[in-house]
Amino acid sequence: MRVFLVTGMSGSGKSITLNVLEDAGFAVVDNLPSRFLEEITSELGESGHPLVAVSIDVRTGIRSVTELPARIGELRRAGHTVQVLFLTADTPTLVQRYSESRRRHPLSDDGVHHTLEECIEEERRQLAVLDGVGQTIDTSRLPSQTLRAWIRDFVGADVAGTTLLFESFAFKDGVPLDADLVFDVRCLPNPFYEPLLRPLSGLDAPVAKFLAAKDIVGRMVTDIGDFVERWLPSYVQDNRSYLTVAIGCTGGQHRSVYCVEELGRRFADHSTVLVRHRGLDSRGDELAQLDTK
């Protein structure tokens, strides 16, 4: 069976993720205590469901969270293919989403943590035990339609090897929390200062031509590519499901986008390569309508 586990911070987009998985043909179980994971997986398998998606988080208690890594190991030893997706977002983003949805945080009634910020930080502390168990997606300032597209990419990715993700971002928005490797390309010539190129992006031919003509840009892309190529086998040997390489410039519009596109082409022969652009995607509506699970 293929089991897709969804966990992470409340308000980070787990409901949207489960909806995408359900549309992709997964049998979805939400808010399941981890001790029932193997039982419900077996039950659904016997009922003819080879694809199962389960959401497990702090709503079922800290014990459920701390036991999750061991439960994942049990499923894998039983021969199931298990993918784990950890959704997160920065505290200001989560506070904004709760404020707009007017939902209560699941830890607000524990008798200890009273303010929303206290609840969020306690949840982050409790979930620290899951650091590194799967692929992390930072949904801060990410439009809901973009998250849906990324989840569809993850669902369709080859689960047998390491998926290589190249991601452009804007330093003005902060470094993505899902990044494994971060490279700063703000030292490169900036098309923003060319009036005709300013409204365009690194996906547009005039911007690509401008940057391709600069030797320093080519050297930067080559150096980053050489580093990734040299160390990728070590990450694969470490049984990484995903390796996220984040390339940042000031606005996430020109230089980082171009570099990510070039790196995507260089590694096109790798088993699975994904390319995404946070700075361009964030031009859409903010991910403010996420269900605060």
- Tokens in use for 37? 């994971």
Mean per-residue pLDDT of the chain: 90
Residue-level pLDDT at 289: 41
Name all domains of the chain by residue range, CATH numbers in brackets: 1-160 (3.40.50.300), 162-270 (no CATH)
Residue 74's SS3 state is helix
Q: With bands split at pLDDT 50, 70 and 90, how would you rate the model's confidence at 286?
A: very low
Residue type, 177: L
The pTM of the full predicted model, rounded to 2 decimals, is 0.67
Tokens 């193997």 -> residue: 38
- Whole-angstrom Cα distance, residue 280 to residue 287? 14
The whole-number average pLDDT for the span 219-228 is 98
Among the ranges given (62-76, 131-145, 193-207), the one the predictor scored with the smallest mean pLDDT: 131-145
Q: With bands split at pLDDT 50, 70 and 90, how would you rate the model's confidence at 267?
A: very high
Residue-level pLDDT at 157: 61
Residue 73: pLDDT over 90: yes
Length of the chain: 293
Residue-level pLDDT at 287: 38
Residue-level pLDDT at 212: 98
- pLDDT > 70: percent of the chain: 92
Residue 9: pLDDT over 60: yes
Residue-level pLDDT at 219: 98
User: Alpha-carbon torsion 146, 152, 155, 157, what sign?
Assistant: negative
- Contacts of the segment 116-124: beta carbons below 8 A, 24+ positions apart: 117/91, 120/9, 120/10, 120/91, 120/94, 120/95, 121/91, 123/9, 123/10, 123/58, 124/9
Residue-level pLDDT at 179: 93
Rg (CA), the chain: 20
The whole-number average pLDDT for the span 242-256 is 95
Residue 290's SS3 state is coil
Residue-level pLDDT at 210: 98
Residue 292: pLDDT over 50: no
CA angle 264, 266, 269 (to 5 degrees): 90
Q: With bands split at pLDDT 50, 70 and 90, how would you rate the model's confidence at 113?
A: low
Closest CA to 53 of 19, 86, 78: 19
The whole-number average pLDDT for the span 102-114 is 80
Residue-level pLDDT at 57: 94
Residue-level pLDDT at 272: 85
CA dihedral 243, 244, 245, 249 (to 10 degrees): 180
Closest CA to 82 of 25, 155, 4: 4
Residue-level pLDDT at 177: 87
Residue 68: pLDDT over 60: yes
Check if the beta carbon of residue 113 is closer than 8 Å to that of residue 119.
yes
Among the ranges given (147-156, 183-192, 259-268), the one the predictor scored with the smallest mean pLDDT: 147-156
